[in-house]
Amino acid sequence: MGHITESSWVPSVTLRVGVGTPDVAALLLGADGRVRGDADMVFAGQPVHPSGAVRHSGTSLALALHEVEPEVERIVIAGAAGGGHLAAMAPDRAVVVAYLIGNPEGGEAVVFGEFYRESGGWKFTGIGKGYTAGLAALVTDYGVEVAEEEPAAGPSAPGLVKQPAAGAAEQPAPGLAQRPAAAGPLPLAGVAKGPAGNGAADGDGGHPAPSGTAKDGPAAPDGGGRNGKGGWAASVAGRMQGWVSGGGDRTADDGGGPGAFGPDFKPFTAKGEGDSVVTAGPQVPAGPVLLEVTHQGSDSYIGVHALGEDNKDAGSSLFSSQLADFTGSTVTEAPEGRPLRLRVAAYNAWTVRVRPVSAARRLRGTLKGYGPEALLYTGGPADLTVDFKGNEENGGYVSLWTHPITDGGVLSPSPTLSLSKPGRQLATVPLPDGPLLLLFSADGKWSLTVRELGL
* Average pLDDT value for the chain: 73
pLDDT band at 38 (very low <50, low <70, confident <90, very high): confident
Per-residue confidence (pLDDT) for residue 32, from 0 to 100: 87
Please give the DSSP secondary-structure letter assigned to residue 166. Answer: T
Asked, for residue 254, whether it belongs to a domain, the answer is no
CA–CA dist 340, 307 (Å, integer): 8
Is the pTM for the entire model greater than 0.75?
A: no
- Same domain? 297 vs 216: no
- Give the residue numbers spanning the domain of 147: 8-239
Over residues 13-18, the mean pLDDT reads 91
CA–CA dist 422, 420 (Å, integer): 7
- Same domain? 234 vs 376: no
Please tell me whether residue 71 adopts helix, strand or coil conformation. Answer: coil
Q: Which of 191, 218, 239 is the last residue of a domain?
A: 239
- Same domain? 290 vs 235: no
Please give the DSSP secondary-structure letter assigned to residue 381. Answer: S
Per-residue confidence (pLDDT) for residue 344, from 0 to 100: 95
What CATH number is given to the structural domain containing 157?
2.60.60.30
- Same domain? 159 vs 293: no
Q: Which residue has the higher pLDDT, 151 or 293?
A: 293
Asked, for residue 1, whether it belongs to a domain, the answer is no
Write the pLDDT tens digit of every residue in 261-311.
888 899 999 999 899 999 999 999 999 999 999 888 777 789 999 999 999
Checking if the pLDDT of 194 tops 80, the result is no
Percent share of the chain, pLDDT over 70:
70
Residue 225, number of CB atoms within 10 A of its CB: 16
Per-residue confidence (pLDDT) for residue 215, from 0 to 100: 31
- Same domain? 222 vs 275: no
Per-residue confidence (pLDDT) for residue 384, from 0 to 100: 96
Highest mean pLDDT among 7-11, 124-128, 243-247: 124-128
Q: Which of 23-32, 60-69, 125-134, 278-287 has the lowest mean pLDDT?
A: 125-134
The pair phi, psi for residue 137, each rounded to 5°, is: -70, -35
Per-residue confidence (pLDDT) for residue 189, from 0 to 100: 32
Checking if the pLDDT of 71 tops 60, the result is yes
CA–CA dist 161, 171 (Å, integer): 12
pLDDT band at 222 (very low <50, low <70, confident <90, very high): very low
Q: Which of 114-118, 226-230, 432-436 has the lowest mean pLDDT?
A: 226-230
Checking if the pLDDT of 432 tops 80, the result is yes
DSSP-based helix, strand, coil % in the chain, nearest 5: 5, 40, 55
- Same domain? 176 vs 56: yes
**Cα→Cα distances 315→319, 332, 341, 398, Å:** 12, 11, 13, 21
Q: Which residue has the higher pLDDT, 153 or 447?
A: 447
Please tell me whether residue 262 adopts helix, strand or coil conformation. Answer: coil
- Same domain? 278 vs 181: no
Checking if the pLDDT of 192 tops 60, the result is no
- Same domain? 284 vs 202: no
Checking if the pLDDT of 239 tops 50, the result is no
User: What DSSP string runs through 1-14?
Assistant: -BSS-TTEEE-SSE
Q: Which residue has the higher pLDDT, 225 or 70?
A: 70
pLDDT band at 148 (very low <50, low <70, confident <90, very high): low
Per-residue confidence (pLDDT) for residue 150, from 0 to 100: 44
Residues 6 or more apart whose Cβ sits within 8 Å of residue 450: 363, 364, 365, 366, 377, 379, 382, 383, 384, 385, 431
Write the pLDDT tens digit of every residue in 368-396.
888 899 999 999 999 999 998 876 665 67
- Same domain? 304 vs 184: no
Per-residue confidence (pLDDT) for residue 246, from 0 to 100: 30
Write the pLDDT tens digit of every residue in 199-219.
333 333 332 232 233 333 333
Write the pLDDT tens digit of every residue in 161-171.
333 333 333 33
- Same domain? 193 vs 127: yes
Q: Which residue has the higher pLDDT, 29 or 51?
A: 29
Asked, for residue 259, whether it belongs to a domain, the answer is no
CA–CA dist 450, 48 (Å, integer): 39
